[in-house]
Each structure stands twice: as C-alpha cells, then as structure tokens.
Amino acid sequence: MNDPIRVAVTGAAGNIGYALIFRIANGDLFGPEQPVILQLLEIPPAMGALEGVAMELDDCAFPLLAQTILTDQPDVAFDRASWSLLVGARPRTAGMERKDLLSANGPIFVTQGRAINANAAPDARIVVVGNPANTNCLIAMNNAPDVPPGRFTAMTRLDYNRARTMLAHKAGRPLTAVTNVTIWGNHSATQYPDAFHAQIDAQPAAPVIGDDNWIKETFVPTVQQRGAAVIAARGASSAASAANACINHVQTWYAGTSAGDWASMGIPSTGAYGTPAGVIFSYPLTIGDGDYSVVDGLDLSEFDRSAIAATAQELLEERDAVADWLV
C-alpha cells in the first residue's frame, strides 16, 4: 500500500460534503490501492453534525480510509494536504445580491488561501466548488503567494457533465461517444457550454446533431440554467451531481485526459482566445502528469466569441467587486 494522500474538504457536513466524502473514503479519487486521510473542516455550529458524519464514515469500515480529522481550524484542515476541496461557502440568502454574496465569501477564502499557503503539502492542488466558485478561487489564490497559481482551480465539471449528457441524449448516442466538450468562462448563468467544438463518435457534434438553432437556442441556455432547474424541481441545489463532478474533476487532473479528448476546469486566465488577464476562466484543457495546458488552435465563430466575451465581462465585474480581498 502507498502512503495515504491527505484530502482536505471544507463544508464537509453540508449537502455536497455528505455526498462527497464517502466516495473519497471509498477510493473513488485515486483508485483501490491508494489510502486517504480525510481532513474535514466545518464552522463551529456544524461540528456536531460533522461528528455524526464521521460516525457514519467509521460505520462504513472503508479499508482505504486511514484517518479522519475533524476540525474548525483551517490550519489543521490544510496541514500537509495534497488536495483541498473548498466546498463550504456562505449560502445566498433571501434579499442578498450577487455582490453581497461575493463580499460575504471574501473573508472565508482569504483565510483559507492563507491557511493553504502556510500548511498544505508542496504538491498542493486546490478545487473550489463553493459559489461564486471562480471568484472565490481567485481570492484564495491571491492569498496563497507561495503556492503556484496554476494549482488553484474552480469547478466547471458539473456544467461539462450536464452538457455532455444533453448532447448524448440529443444525438441518441451513448455518453462515451461524446468528447471534447468545453465550458468557457464562469460557473454561472453566463458560462458558455460549447457544442461547436465537441465531437460525437469522433465527428464534429454540430453536423451530427444537424440543428444549430437547437444548439444556440435550447442547449446553451438549458445548460446555463440547469442549476436553477434542479433547485426548482428538488427544492434544494444539486448535491450528488456536484459531488460527483468534484470527484471527476480530481480524477481527471490526477490521471489525465484521454488521447484526443479534453476536459474543462477554471484556471488562472492565460489570455488564450482573447480572454482577460487576472480572472479564473474555464477553458478546454488537456491534462497529463498533473499539469494542464489550454487547447490551442480552435477556430472560434462570431457566436463563440460573443458568448466568451459575455462570461469574461461578468468575471471582470466579479473581480472588481472583490478587489478588497485581492493582494
């Protein structure tokens, strides 16, 4: 057996946390030979609930779970962590505007960025799930000057999974036939889920589907609004699918993308495709050996360009709203 990998999860007693940590303990991130130590962070009022979750982890008798650490101290949670999954965030409450949500999350991600900087393992990799994910990630990254910025990512994998499934259903093909899906930009309703560079059975997806109007008028807004649709139907936000997406995000970063395919994560913007500097932007990425690079050479249409510009504009506005938390 290998040495255990330390995985920190924040907001571990929340809805996504409850769907996430059992899968990590089961070995879903790194495979059946790799033990893990779970380092679970909560705020003091949720520590009782977290203890209950830890009892259930014990009761599962997971062979790969070497240790479970429960804490309300970020310095303890991120101690030697190789993977930090930042799920906990201030929820949006009634009457709260997006701007208020952004600034309510500022102090959380300043504190966690600093604690990662001071305590995490040299190979630290960070995935921000808590919303607004891209901008929370930007804040944490800014407050962790000793961690290479490229280790900070925001999760757009749920959007990617939603887009991939929708294309498979529309084409009447199995999910595995759909590749090269991209989410551009922000994890928000301005994101651009890109079917025009996707493939179905290794062919460009748009001609296979044969209905560009459906892509533009139905596919794009449905993926953009899917989170709200789940809330409307379930009375609660996506939890199991968000946890699954977080697992997929780490799996792909850890194991790499398949030849010819790519995935999407929010990363520090590179300027590729005219995107602005200084934000966390989701791109098509090839990944191998823990490193990633933006897929280059994609031919963007006017439609693609204007959708990418819209989500970039929102990210710039979010960045301006949290300027106080950036160093």
Q: Is 187 a residue of the active site?
A: yes
223-232 long-range contacts (CB < 8 A, ≥24 apart) are 223/159, 223/162, 223/163, 223/166, 223/191, 223/193, 224/189, 224/190, 224/191, 224/193, 225/189, 226/159, 226/162, 227/158, 228/189
Residues 42-71 within binding reach of ligand NAX (CB under 6 A):
42-43, 46
Residue 129 interacts with ligand NAX (CB under 6 A): yes or no: yes
Give yes or no for residue 131 binding ligand NAX (CB under 6 A).
yes
As measured in angstroms, the least distance from the Cβ of 252 to ligand NAX is: 15
CB of 108 to ligand NAX, least distance (A): 4
- Which of 70, 89, 195, 315 binds ligand NAX (CB under 6 A)? It is 89
Answer for the pair 87, 11: CB distance below 8 angstroms, yes or no. yes
CB atoms within 10 A of CB 271: 10
Please give the span between the terminal C-alpha atoms of the chain, in angstroms, as a whole number: 42
Residue 158: CB minimum distance to ligand NAX, A: 4
Asked if residue 9 binds ligand NAX (CB under 6 A), the reply is no
Among 53, 141, 183, 242, binds ligand NAX (CB under 6 A): 242
Q: Which of 5, 7, 8, 16 binds ligand NAX (CB under 6 A)?
A: 16
DSSP 55-106: HHHHHHT-TTEEEEEEES-HHHHTTT-SEEEE---PPP-TT--HHHHHHHHH
CA distances from residue 228 to 18, 60, 145, 223 in whole angstroms, order as listed: 21, 33, 35, 10
Q: How many residues bind ligand NAX (CB under 6 A)?
A: 28
38 binds ligand NAX, rule: CB under 6 A: no
Binding segment for ligand NAX (CB under 6 A), chosen from 10-18, 174-182, 279-287, 313-321, is 10-18
Q: Which residues are catalytic?
A: 187
Contact residues: ligand NAX, CB under 6 A: 10-11, 13-17, 41-43, 46, 87-89, 91, 108, 129-131, 133, 155, 158, 187, 227, 237-239, 242
